[in-house]
Structure 1
Amino acid sequence: MFDVNSLSQLKDLKKQIEDSKEYGTGIVKGTERRFGFVVLEDEREIFLAPDEMDKVFPGDKVKIQIHSNTEGKVSGELMKVISTPLKTFTGRYVVKGKGHFVEPDLPRFKRWIFIPPAARNKAQNGDYIHCNISRHAYPDAKPQAKVLTVIGNDASPGIEAEYSRYKFQLEQVLPDNWQDDIKAVDLSQRQDFSALNFVTIDAPSTQDMDDALFIEATEQGWQLSVAIADPDAFISENSAVDKEAQRRASSIYMPGHTITMLPEQLSVEHCSLHPEQNRAALICRMDISSEGIISDYQLLEATICSKAKLSYYEVANHLDGQSSEHPQAELLTLLQQASSALLAQRQLANIVGSGRPEFRIRLNEQGKIDSIEPGVKTSAHLLVEECMVAANSCAANFMDQQGLFHGHVGFRPERLEGVRKLIDEQLGLSDIDLESVAGYRQLSHSIEDDKLDFPVRSVLSRMLERGRLYTAPTPHFGMGMERYTTFTSPIRKYSDLLVHRIIKAKLAGKTHTVKEQDLVALQDSLDRARQARWQMEQWLKCQYLQAFKGQELAGTVCQINSNGFTVRLQNNGVEGVVDTRKLKEKYSFDPLRLRLSSKDVVIELDQAVTITIAQLDVKQRSIQFALVNKADAEPSAS
C-alpha cells in the first residue's frame, strides 16, 4: 500500500510527465501520398504518418500530441477529431473483389471508402455517385460512406455537366413556396420611358436579356441610355431566392447546359427585357461628346418597353454594309458612332486590352464535343461592349467612396523590382511610377509590340495581381481606370445585383453596405463556379483530343514556369502542358523574363511551337503535350 506521501509524489510525477508533453490543434492537410500533415494555429506543419493519416480526412480539425525523436524529427499522434467539414462529396463507385468502395473526387484524398451493402443504392462498378460520410475514420481508420444518388456513368449523355452540378453543389435549393417572397412591382412609381425606342442586341438563343439600348443625337454628340433589367425590384433581400442567388453567385454557362443564378420564372419571364413587354429597369443616361467624353450622366429607376430583339450578326451585317435595309437603321448608326467615339477616347485615356482568344464548343447528340470553333467578336459585339463599359464606369463613379468595385491592383509586390529592371532593359524606361494607374497607363502606351523582339507586354501581364471585388474604390490597372464596377448583368451575376441595391439606396438618400465576410463568401462562390465550368470543359476536351493522338499540332506558348510551359492550340484553343523535365535537354528558368532556355533552344511567351498529345487523363482533367523534336523547339527570334 502507498502512504499519503507516496501517492502525492506519484500524482506530482504524473503531472510533470503530462506538463512535459506538447499538444497542438490544427487542420489536417493531405498529400499526393499516404502521409499528411497537421497545420497548427502557429502555422507549423506537423508530420502525420500513414497509419495516423488513415484515421482522419483532409480538412479535419484535430488535436494532436507532438513527438520529437532523437534525430529531431517531429511527428503527430492523434488525440481527438474536433470537427470535420467533409459531409457530402462525389466520386467513382469501385468494386474490388467482394468489397464495394467509393473513390472520392477530392483534392489530396488518396484512399477509397467502404460502402456497406445497405448503403449502395443499386450503384454499379464505374458509376459516378454522390455520397455522404456515414461513419468517420476516427479512431479505427474504417470510414464508411452511403450512396445518395447515382449520377450516371461514362455512357450517360451529358454526364460531364450533371456530375459537375453535384460536385460543386450547383443545384437550386429553394422551398416549395419561394414565389411567396417575390415582391409585387408598381411600375407607376418609376419614370416612364416605355415610349422610347429601346432595342436589345444579343444572341438569338438568349432568353435572360439584361440590357437594352437607346440613343439620340445632340448638338454636342449623343445622349446614350443603357437600360439594365432590375431583378432587385422583385427579390426581397435575405429571402430564400436572394440567399440562393448569393450562394450560386452567378449563372454558369457550360457547353450544352446552363445553370441559372435565379429561377427561370424570374430570369426569363419577369425580369428579362423581352420586346413589347413593360419591364422594370435601372437606366444609365449619358451625355457623350463627339470626342467620346462622358460629360454628364444620370442613374434612375424607370420602366421601359424594348421595341425589338436584334441578333449580333444581324446588326453586324448592317453595320458592315452587307445589308442596307434595316428597320432600326438610324438607331444603329448613332450607336455605332457613339461607341466608336467612346472606344477612341478609352484607347487614349485608359487601356484597351486585346483579351485572350475565345472559342465556342459545339456538342453532338451524345453531349460530347462535335467541334470547337473560334469565337468571333463582330462590330455589334464591340458596340454593345463599349456601351456597357461606359455605363459601368458611370456606376462606379456614382457609388463614390462606398459600394462594390472590381479592382485590379497592379503588379504583385514581389515582382516590382524585377519589372523595373525589365522595362529599363527592354524599353529604356526608369522613371515610371509602377504602383499608380497613371504610371501603368504610361507603361502600357509605351510598348510598341511590333518593334520589339521580346514579348514584353505578355510577360508583364503575367506579373499582375488577380482581379477581385472590393468595398472601397480600388484602381483597375487592367483597364487603366481609377475605379470600375459592373452592374449590367444582374440577372446573371450576384455582384451586379448588389451594385443595383447600392445605387438604388443612394438614389433614395440611403446607404446599402456589403459586409466583408459576405464579400469573401461571394468571391469563393465565383471561384467555385469558374472551377465547375473549367472542370466540365476539360473533361470534354480530354475526350475530344483522343482523335488527335499521333498528329502534329500547331500551338502558341501561353504560360511558362520552372517546370514547363502551357501551349494553346491554334485551331481550337485547347491548352495542355509540356513538362520540360521530361525532355532530353536540360532547361533553366528565367523568372524575370519568363523564359526557359536550354543549350540550343529558348522558349518564350507567344512563341509558335509544334506539339503532339502525350497523355490525356480524364480522371485528373489533365492534358499533357510533348514538344515535337525539332531540336525540341524552334529557336526564339530573341
Structure 2
Amino acid sequence: MNKSPKRPPAGLPDKDTLLAFLREQGSAEKTDIARHFGLKGGDRRALREMIRELEAEGKLGTRGKKGFSEAGALPPVGVADVVERDVDGDFFVRLVEASADAPRALLVPDRSKPGPAPGMGDRLLVKFQQGVDGWEARLIKKLDSERSRVLGVIRKSAREVRVEPVDKRSKDVLLVPAAQAEGLRDGDLVVAAIEKGDQRYGPKRGKILETIGKEDDPRAASLIAIHTHSVPTGFSQAVEAEAEHQELPSLKGREDLRDLPLITIDPADARDHDDAVFAHRDEDARNEGGWIVWVAIADVAAYVRPGTALDREAREKGNSTYFPDRVEPMLPEVLSAGLCSLREGENRACLAVRMVFDKEGRKTGHKFVRGLMRSHAKLSYEQAQAAIDGQPDDATGPIMEAIVHPLWNAYDAMLKGRLKRSPLQIESAERRIHMTNGEITSIEKRTSLEAHRLIEEMMIQANVCAAETLEQKKTPLLYRIHDTPSQEKLFNLGDFLQTIGKPWTKGEPATTKRFNKLLDETRETEHAEVVNEVVLRSQMQAIYSAENVGHFGLNLDRYAHFTSPIRRYSDLIVHRGLIRALGLGKDGLTDREIAELPAIADHVVMTERRSMAAERDAMDRYIAAFLQDRVGGAFTGRITGVTRFGLFVRLDETGADGLVPVSSLGGEYFGHDDRTHALVGERTGRRWPLGKRVEVKLMEATPVTGGLIFEMLSDPDPRDPNAQAPRLGMRGRNDGRSAGAGGNGPPKRGSNRPGGPKPPRGGTPKGVRKGKRR
C-alpha cells in the first residue's frame, strides 16, 4: 500500500492539489480522498462535484476497482502483464486490471535481477515512472501464480501433443510429452503446468497435472469457468469437521417465534432457504390500515464464528457461485442445506426483523430479534403466484386467508412507498438454462412474477433496517453502495439519445426519476430495448464499502446486505454487527473485524466479480454448446454492441451474444462513430447503429471458448441526411495492405474467432435473490 503524503489542513482542496494527491497515490477512492483532506458534510458533496468536473475536463482516468487516478497516469507500483513485443525485441507491459486502451509501459531490463528474463504473458510486479518517451516499468520481481497453470484441450497429431488453452486471453499453447498423454484422447480437458525454463521462442513446454472432462460435455462449461476464474472449490477437512459438529442452538437468549406462521418463497429448484416472510394487519389504532411485516433470516453467525476454520474459508470464498448444473457454495452442505436452511416444519435459528408500515407504505419503525422459528410452508414463486391468481394447490389452499392474502395486501401498501421512492426501473433479460441428465434441453427468458417483486421489496426493506440500526448504534458495517453515474457516462448517453431524437440535458443532475421518465417514454417504441441497454450501461457497478455514499439505483440513503448470509460473506458481517450492536450474543463482530472492514469490502467485491465472470462465461459456453448443431441457421436479433472490430448481436431466441466481424461486412471501410454508437461507411455513409434489428447466420459455435461468430444477412441503414459529421475512431479494419476488393481487410487477431471480444457489460446487477446482486 502506498504511503499517504503528509496530511494537509482540513478543507476542500483545489483541483491542482487533488490531482497532485492522486499523482502521488497512483489512485484513490472518493472516501480515501475525503478522509485524507478531512472532508465532512457539505465539503464531501463539493468534492463529488469537483470530481465530476475533472472527469468532464478529461483530467481524471476512468473509475476502476481502485477509484480515481489522474488521466493517463499509472500507479507508482503495480502488477502488470507482459502484453507486447516490438520488432526490436523490447517488451511492453500493461496493468492487470486495465482496459485495452490503458497506457502501456516499456519494460526496462534489469541485468541485476537473478533468474530468467521476463517473456510474453509473464506477470510482474513493477515500478512505474515517466521516461523520456513515455512510461517505463522497472522489474521488482516476477510473480508465480495460477498463470503457471493452463486449462486446455488435448490436441494430438502424428508429430506432437499440444494443450490449447480454453481461456481466449491466453497464448500459452503447451507441448507435452507423448508419454504423459497416453490414455488421453483428442478433446480431453486437462490442467497442465508450464515448465520453467529460459524458453523465449516457440511453444512452451508443459506437464499434465489432471484430467477434468471432455470438451464436448455440456457440463464441462462450469468446470472450465471454475478453473479459468480460480473459483475456490470444496472444503478442507477441518471445515467439514467443524460443520458436522454444529448443533441447533437452544431457546436460551432467543425469542420463540415458532408460532409465527413464517413461510419461504424460493425458486422451485432451490436447495437452501435462508429467508422467510409473514405479514399481518397492525392492530395499533394509531396506524389504521397499516401492516406488520416480518422477515426472518437464517442465523448463520450462530454456526460460523470469527476465527474458526469455517469463517476463514467462508471469507476466502466470499460468496457462493451458481451454475445451471452445480453450485460452489460458500458453506458446506451440512450447513447451507441443513442447519442454516429454513426447512418446513423444522426448528431453525434466525435473526428476524419486525417492520411497521403505514397504509401509504412508509416504514415507521422496526425491531430486530434473535429467535427460534419454524417454517410453516415451503412455496415456489410459481406456486405463490398461481395461488394469488386464483389457482391454489394443496400447499397454498389451506394458508390463503391466514398467510398468502396478508402478504400480498402488505406488499400493495409497500408498493406505494416504492413508487414514491422511484428506484431505477431497468428491465433485465435474464435467461435460464434447463438441463436433463447433463444435456441442455432449452434456454428460456426468466419470467418476472409479482411474487418475485414481493420478496425483493421485503428483502430490500429488511436490508435498509439493518443499515439504519447499525448506524443508530454507531457500529461500523459493510454498506452496499451504488454511486451516481459519472459525467462522462451521462455525456455519452446524451450523445446517443440525440441520434434517436430524445432530448437529454447533459448538465442536469442524474436522478432515478429522470432515468425512469426516459424509460417510460420509450417503453412502447421501437427504441425500448436499446434505451434500456444504454441506460443500464450508464450506471456504475454496485460494490461493498465501509464508507457510505448511498445506493443510487434503489434511491436509498443507506443500504446493507443482510438477507443472504448462507451465500454472501458480506451479509454474515452485517449479522455479526447487529449481534454486537444489540447485545444479542457473544458471537458478534470483533474489534479486529471492524479494523479490517475496508479490506473485507475490497475482498468480497473481488469475489463477487469473480463469481459473476465465471457464471457469465459458463453461460456463454452452455449457449454455444446448445447452438452448435444449428451452425448455418438464420436467427433474428438486435445489435447490442458496436466496436471498431465488429458488431455484437444478441439473438432473440436464446439471448446469446455473438460477433459479426467488421471484415465480413464488405462493400467499403466502416469506421466506428463512438458518439452515435454506429459503424459508418466511409464512402456511402451507410450505418450499422446500436439497437438495429437484424438477421444473422450462425457461422461458428465453439463451446470450449463460448464463442459465436455470425454473418450479417440484413442491409445497413442508409446515410442519415441530418446527422452531424461522424466522430470516427479507429477504422474498422486492421491492415489495409491485406484488404481485398471492397473488403475491410482481416480483423485483428482473435477478434473474429469463437471466444473473441465480448460485448460491453455494465450497470448494476438487479435483485437480491439467487444469481442476482443488487
Name the TM-score class by shorter chain: 0.7 to 0.9
**2:249 aligned with 1:180:** no
Cα deviation digits, residues 370-411 of structure 1 (max 9, x gap): 211221122222221221122122223223273112222122
**2:203 aligned with 1:203:** no
Amino acid at match of 2:82: K
**2:299 aligned with 1:239:** no
Q: Which residue of 1 aligns with 2:478?
A: 404
Q: Which residue of 1 aligns with 2:432?
A: 360
SS in structure 2 opposite 1:558?
strand
8 Å contact kept, 2:639–2:691:
yes
Deviation of 1:346 after TM superposition, in Å, equals: 1.3
8 Å contact kept, 1:198–1:214:
yes
Cα deviation digits, residues 50-103 of structure 1 (max 9, x gap): xx9996362433789x9x99xx99999x99964422344422234454544433
CA gap 1:285/1:114 in 2 versus in 1, 3 angstroms: same
CA gap 1:334/1:600 in 2 versus in 1, 3 angstroms: farther
Deviation of 1:600 after TM superposition, in Å, equals: 6.3
**2:388 aligned with 1:319:** yes
Deviation of 1:150 after TM superposition, in Å, equals: 1.0
8 Å contact kept, 1:459–1:593:
no
Aligned-partner Cα distance in 2 for 1:547–1:104: 23
**2:637 aligned with 1:555:** yes
Aligned-partner Cα distance in 2 for 1:608–1:159: 33
Determine what percentage of the aligned residue pairs are the same residue.
25
Q: Which residue of 2 aligns with 1:520?
A: 602
Amino acid at match of 1:146: K
1:126 to 161, 168, 187: 187
Q: Which residue of 1 aligns with 2:702?
A: 617
Give the TM-score of the pair, scaled to structure 2: 0.69
Deviation of 1:314 after TM superposition, in Å, equals: 1.7
Amino acid at match of 1:291: E
**2:602 aligned with 1:530:** no
1:504 to 575, 579, 588: 579
Between stretches 193-202 and 592-601, larger displacement belongs to 592-601
Q: Which residue of 2 aligns with 1:462?
A: 537
Q: What does residue range 145-156 of structure 1 map to in structure 2 within 5 Å?
A: 145-156=206-217
Aligned-partner Cα distance in 1 for 2:429–2:140: 51
8 Å contact kept, 1:342–1:390:
no
8 Å contact kept, 1:211–1:273:
yes
Q: What does residue range 358-437 of structure 1 map to in structure 2 within 5 Å?
A: 358-365=430-437, 367-400=438-471, 402-418=476-492, 426-427=502-503, 429=505, 432-434=508-510
8 Å contact kept, 1:40–1:46:
no
Q: Which residue of 2 aligns with 1:45?
A: 105
1:170 to 232, 245, 265: 232
Aligned-partner Cα distance in 2 for 1:480–1:79: 46
2:277 to 213, 227, 242: 213
Aligned-partner Cα distance in 2 for 1:105–1:170: 19
Size of the alignment, in residue pairs?
603
8 Å contact kept, 1:33–1:110:
no
2:365 to 282, 296, 304: 296
Deviation of 1:298 after TM superposition, in Å, equals: 1.5
Cα deviation digits, residues 190-223 of structure 1 (max 9, x gap): 1111111111112333221011111110134110
8 Å contact kept, 1:403–1:471:
yes
SS in structure 2 opposite 1:372?
strand
**2:644 aligned with 1:591:** no
8 Å contact kept, 1:368–1:540:
no
2:565 to 487, 490, 498: 490
CA gap 1:496/1:559 in 2 versus in 1, 3 angstroms: farther
Q: Which residue of 1 aligns with 2:693?
A: 608
Amino acid at match of 2:427: G
Cα deviation digits, residues 136-174 of structure 1 (max 9, x gap): 446898964332211122355622223333443432131
SS in structure 2 opposite 1:479?
coil
Between stretches 245-254 and 503-512, larger displacement belongs to 503-512
Aligned-partner Cα distance in 2 for 1:636–1:189: 75
Q: Which residue of 2 aligns with 1:481?
A: 556
Amino acid at match of 1:444: N
Between stretches 587-596 and 315-324, larger displacement belongs to 587-596
CA gap 1:288/1:73 in 2 versus in 1, 3 angstroms: closer
Q: What does residue range 60-139 of structure 1 map to in structure 2 within 5 Å?
A: 60-61=123-124, 82-85=142-145, 86-106=147-167, 108-116=169-177, 122-137=183-198
CA gap 1:563/1:108 in 2 versus in 1, 3 angstroms: closer
CA gap 1:482/1:212 in 2 versus in 1, 3 angstroms: same
Aligned-partner Cα distance in 1 for 2:299–2:216: 42
Give the TM-score of the pair, scaled to structure 1: 0.83
Aligned-partner Cα distance in 1 for 2:312–2:141: 31
Aligned-partner Cα distance in 2 for 1:105–1:31: 21
Aligned-partner Cα distance in 1 for 2:224–2:261: 44
Deviation of 1:354 after TM superposition, in Å, equals: 3.7
8 Å contact kept, 1:627–1:633:
no
SS in structure 2 opposite 1:304?
strand
Amino acid at match of 1:312: Y
Q: Which residue of 1 aligns with 2:219?
A: 158
8 Å contact kept, 2:515–2:535:
no
8 Å contact kept, 2:152–2:190:
yes
8 Å contact kept, 1:604–1:636:
no
Q: Which residue of 2 aligns with 1:18?
A: none
Deviation of 1:587 after TM superposition, in Å, equals: 4.1
**2:432 aligned with 1:348:** no
Between stretches 152-161 and 295-304, larger displacement belongs to 152-161
Deviation of 1:262 after TM superposition, in Å, equals: 1.0
1:310 to 372, 379, 383: 379
* Structure 2: gaps of 5 or more residues: 1-76, 97-102, 110-114, 283-287, 724-774
Give the alignment's Cα RMSD to 1 decimal.
Answer: 4.0
CA gap 1:79/1:628 in 2 versus in 1, 3 angstroms: closer
* Structure 1: gaps of 5 or more residues: 1-23
Aligned-partner Cα distance in 2 for 1:313–1:44: 52
CA gap 1:189/1:536 in 2 versus in 1, 3 angstroms: same
Amino acid at match of 1:583: L
Aligned-partner Cα distance in 2 for 1:283–1:74: 55
CA gap 1:503/1:178 in 2 versus in 1, 3 angstroms: same
CA gap 1:446/1:553 in 2 versus in 1, 3 angstroms: closer
Aligned-partner Cα distance in 1 for 2:315–2:182: 32
Aligned-partner Cα distance in 1 for 2:187–2:698: 26
Amino acid at match of 2:273: M
Name which one, 1 or 2, has greater alpha-carbon Rg: 1
